[in-house]
Amino acid sequence: MPNVASPHAVNIADLRAAAKRRLPRAVFDYLDGTADDGVTGRDNISAFSEVVFQPRQAVMTAPDMATQVLGVDLNVPFLLTPIGYCRLLHPRGDYAAAAAAKRAGTGFIMATGAGTAMEDVAPLNDKFFYQVYKIGGHACAERAIARAQKLGVKALFLTIDTPVSGNRERDPRNGMGALMGRKWLPKIPYVPEIMRHPRWLARFLADGGTPAMPNVRGADGKALPAVDVADALAQANILWDDLAWIRKLWNGPIVIKGVMTAADARRAVEAGADGIVVSNHGGRQLDCVAATLRVLPGIAEAVKGKTTIFLDSGIRRGADIAKAICLGADAVLVGRAYAYGLAAAGDAGVDRALEILTADLFRSMKLLGAATVADLKPELVRLPAGFRVD
Amino acid sequence: MSKLASPHIVNIADLRALARKRLPNAAFDYLDGAAEGEVTARDNIAAFSEVIFKPRQAVMTNPDLATRVLGVDLAVPFILSPIGYSRMLHPRGELAGAGGAKRAGTGYILSTISGHPLEKVREQNDKVFFQVYLMGGREATKRAFARAKALGYKGLFVTIDTAVAGMRERDYRNGMGPLMAKSLLPKLPYLPEILSHPRWLARFLLDGGMPGLPNVVTDTGPLAATDVGRALENAHVCWDDLKWIREAWDGPIVIKGVMSADDAQRAVDEGADGIVVSNHAGRQLDGVAGSLRVLPGIVERVKGKTTIIFDGGIRRGGDIAKALCLGADAVLVGRAYAYGMAAAGDAGVDRALEILRADLVRTMKLLGANTVGELTPALVALKPGFRID
């Protein structure tokens, strides 16, 4: 395992660099890539640098980062977002993420497209959430929701921004479809690159190769075999019309993930959503939508207090978390930030990523003069002209 | 040509790279280049990334791309724009363009500066239009109109932005003038580069070298091809010409090269059935706005009074969606298909159009739009300072 302590990994960008070295290009680009020209992917990050802090100086601060969302107490105002195929990043995949979240005192959201069964991961962290796609159709989703209910999952996150997979051009160039397919012959052109990462390959093969999707079980109880993301998402999207159906099956909080406009945020509230995630799927779906941070103020104006507001996409530092909360988020989701750590060093890498974000946020709150998450208010930031997209 | 399939060719930029490999510099730069510092050409593309999508999520979508412009039903809301000297890119030139458009269920606009005759192009596709320069004078133009009319061409695209050819510096550097001229000696310095593309050269020579202009027939026969600077001398169409053009052509007339609301209004006042918001892909006056920036103001002035067609910088289906959201009824694509043509003839055009079509379907699904009519301003936001009015 590479050393992820300081000075080797000082920030999330260092973990990203370590992940890039560790992973075959096809896998790294699956994690790191975005749709089309990456306009939204880049803007997700650069929007944060346009938000200007206005600190309250010379006040005593011993920041308390604890908060409560969806009835769950968290030590820090961030959760670990669902990442499909995260077992490809490291065999420990979902286990590592759930366990590290537990150690950080926060929650983990498991993906429908995970390579590990929810029953195996849930015992590692009682702050356990489940993300829903309709992969495999309604019946598969119903079976998964029933299992989640039985496990005491705290809330469902329903993803609404995937009527079709985004155009992630790095994936076809790296032969992702061929590599995930069953036939051997089409894989051959892509094999040499993968052989250059023997340590990853050995672990991957020891883990049994590409795992099936045990959260998507057919009527026969068998897990759906893994396919590439474009096929997986072809019929996976949750529609507004599905909410009534899901409500009947699920007795617990529902969060709508993928809200990018105040109109859709209001619609989610009218549909009875307990929470929304302001998300553009990490820039992986429709390119040229706004950075999530740009639409957050307008969405917060529309629905703040009526539902729990999460934000994801682009969080790479604790200060980013502070900015999102100042602009109206109740909590944020982090995705690539922990996944880079996972790919770089398994459990230790996720721990390091969460430690970096936690220490960052603690320091940022001190420097801002904010003693609690509730103190992170719009007064502590300024937005340049033209920042918002409404 | 499986080399055109994914993952070899994933987007239009890939086709451009392949075209660059296949063509001699002189031909590639003729296609790819623009005027002077190419400021406008770059802005045509950059302007698209300043338009921000505002999707409607979680609705059922099964996009229908069909639309109708100028009385013609199209399976997709884009038409293939006229490209002069297409036959220099590939011997199939205009035939490949018209045929590819036909297979995509859309229209093709034949340039006056074309190497295949109106008749042959019409055989490829019934949704054909003719683009008008006054090359060879008024009588030669009327002869072309008569042929187009008899063949059932659907409309004229009258280009108004070529008072003179733009200063396309790459053409000078590549010796385009000497290469297109008759005397051999001045060509010599430019020949080694061309010889380094033997496949292109063989095809070009087998095709008979530089084609004449079979759609510009003067009293002495078809005009010979010359470089674009000479071709566009005295070819310019002015507002005053519309009167006699109207008399010589009873069918839809579209004014191509509108870059201001005032000229759009004037086109409407002159009875134009359509306008093309276009800066000639940045090849004429450098320093004009990216054409997407002037679209909103033009739409505010003339939407509903004439068909508004947009042109300039379309490289992805998402770009098409943006132009339609901002008020265009349809768009023209030019370099996007021409890169494909240069790279691989008919198959390359097909691939380019397939990329754009698949892109647009995906984009409309992700936007939550089921029809072209649902692509409205409500689905986009503009960055501050985007518009030029």
CATH of the domain at A264: 3.20.20.70
Nearest to A36 among B316, B322, B368 (CB): B316
What integer pLDDT is reported at residue A1 of this predicted model? 64
B55 touches chain A (CB under 8 A): yes
Task: From chain B, pick out residues whose CB is under 8 angstroms from the CB of A37.
Answer: 49, 316
A5, part of any domain: no
Non-local CB neighbours of A258 within 8 Å, separated by 6+ positions: A159, A160, A161, A162, A277, A279, A280, A281, A285, B57, B58
Contact A239 B51 (CB under 8 A): no
Q: Choose between A92 and A7: higher pLDDT.
A: A92
Nearest to B318 among A258, A288, A390 (CB): A288
B389, part of any domain: no
Task: From chain B, pick out residues whose CB is under 8 angstroms from the CB of A288.
Answer: 48-49, 51-53, 318, 322
Chains A, B: CB pairs < 8 Å: 84
As a whole number, mean pLDDT of residues B303-311 equals 98
Contact A237 B58 (CB under 8 A): yes
The Cα of A49 is separated from the nearest Cα of chain B by a number of Å equal to 17
What integer pLDDT is reported at residue A177 of this predicted model? 84
Contact A164 B365 (CB under 8 A): yes
Residue B1 scores a pLDDT above 60: no
Nearest to B58 among A160, A174, A389 (CB): A160
As a whole number, mean pLDDT of residues A325-332 equals 98
DSSP H/E element including A213: strand A213-217
Contact B316 A37 (CB under 8 A): yes
Q: Confidence class of residue B2 from pLDDT cuts 50, 70 and 90?
A: low
Contact A167 B359 (CB under 8 A): yes
d(CA B66, CA A150): 48
- The answer for B 313-352 residues in CB contact with A (under 8 A) is 316, 318, 322
A203, part of any domain: yes
**Residues of A noted as catalytic:** 281
Contact B60 A241 (CB under 8 A): yes
Interface residues on A facing B, Cβ-Cβ cutoff 8 A: 36-37, 39, 160-161, 163-164, 166-167, 169, 172-175, 237-241, 256, 258-261, 263-264, 285-290, 385-386, 389-390
Averaged pLDDT score across all residues of chain A? 95
Contact A286 B359 (CB under 8 A): no
| Domain around A208 | 12-382
d(CA A133, CA B230): 61
A292, part of any domain: yes
Interface test with B, best of A39, A50, A167 (most B CBs within 10 A): A167
B388, part of any domain: no
B222, part of any domain: yes
What would the pLDDT profile of A233-273 be if each residue is shown by its tens digit?
777 899 999 999 999 999 999 999 999 999 999 999 999 99
Q: Does residue B63 have a cis bond before it (omega within 30 degrees)?
A: no
**How open is the CA angle A242-A283-A96, to the nearest 5 degrees?**
80
B185, part of any domain: yes
A2, part of any domain: no
The nearest alpha carbon in chain A to B368 belongs to A163
DSSP summary character for residue A82 = P
The nearest alpha carbon in chain A to B13 belongs to A37
d(CA A153, CA A208): 28
Contact B55 A260 (CB under 8 A): yes
Most confident segment among A174-178, A338-342, B132-136: A338-342
B387, part of any domain: no
A3, part of any domain: no
- How are beta strands B128-132 and B156-159 bridged, if at all? parallel
Task: From chain B, pick out residues whose CB is under 8 angstroms from the CB of A39.
Answer: 49
Residue B336 scores a pLDDT above 50: yes
Nearest to A169 among B10, B49, B61 (CB): B10
Contact A175 B53 (CB under 8 A): no
Contact B381 A290 (CB under 8 A): yes
Q: Which CATH number do you get for residue B311?
A: 3.20.20.70
Contact A36 B54 (CB under 8 A): no
Q: Confidence class of residue A227 from pLDDT cuts 50, 70 and 90?
A: confident
The nearest alpha carbon in chain A to B319 belongs to A288
- Token couple for A281: 């799927």
d(CA B252, CA A340): 58
Angle between helices A292-303 and A318-326 (to 10 degrees): 40
Nearest to A173 among B7, B48, B367 (CB): B7
Query: What is the number of structural domains in chain A?
Result: 1
- Per the DSSP assignment, residues forming a β-bridge with A196 are none
B10 touches chain A (CB under 8 A): yes
Answer for the pair B144, B130: CB distance below 8 angstroms, yes or no. yes
SS3 B190: helix
- Token couple for B313: 């910088």
- Token couple for A305: 């207090």
A387, part of any domain: no
Nearest to A240 among B59, B316, B383 (CB): B59
Residue A229 scores a pLDDT above 80: no
Query: What is the number of structural domains in chain B?
Result: 1
| Domain around B80 | 2-382
The Cα of B62 is separated from the nearest Cα of chain A by a number of Å equal to 10
DSSP E strand stretches across chain B: 51-53, 67-69, 72-74, 78-80, 108-110, 128-132, 156-159, 213-218, 221-223, 253-258, 274-277, 307-311, 330-333, 380-382
Interface test with B, best of A25, A40, A164 (most B CBs within 10 A): A164
Closest C-alpha to B93, from B75, B103, B80, B76: B80
Catalytic residue among B90, B116, B197, B280: B280
B337, part of any domain: yes
Nearest to B10 among A172, A238, A241 (CB): A172
Q: Mark residue A85 as left, alpha or beta (left: phi above 0; alpha: psi -120 to 50; beta: remaining).
A: left
**Residue owning tokens 């997986």:** A232
The Cα of B285 is separated from the nearest Cα of chain A by a number of Å equal to 28
A225, part of any domain: yes
Q: Which of A207-221, A303-317, B6-20, B98-112 has the lowest mean pLDDT?
A: A207-221
Residue A376 scores a pLDDT above 70: yes
Nearest to B366 among A240, A241, A285 (CB): A285
Contact A36 B383 (CB under 8 A): no
As a whole number, mean pLDDT of residues A25-42 equals 97
Task: From chain A, pick out residues whose CB is under 8 angstroms from the CB of B316.
Answer: 36-37
What would the pLDDT profile of A78-128 be if each residue is shown by its tens digit?
999 999 989 999 999 999 999 999 999 999 999 999 999 999 999 999 999
As a whole number, mean pLDDT of residues B329-348 equals 98
As a whole number, mean pLDDT of residues B169-184 equals 90
Residue A18 scores a pLDDT above 90: yes
Closest C-alpha to B190, from B22, B18, B24, B20: B24
A164, part of any domain: yes
B196 touches chain A (CB under 8 A): no
What integer pLDDT is reported at residue B60 of this predicted model? 86
| Largest CA-CA distance found in chain A, in angstroms, rounded | 66
ipTM score for this prediction: 0.91
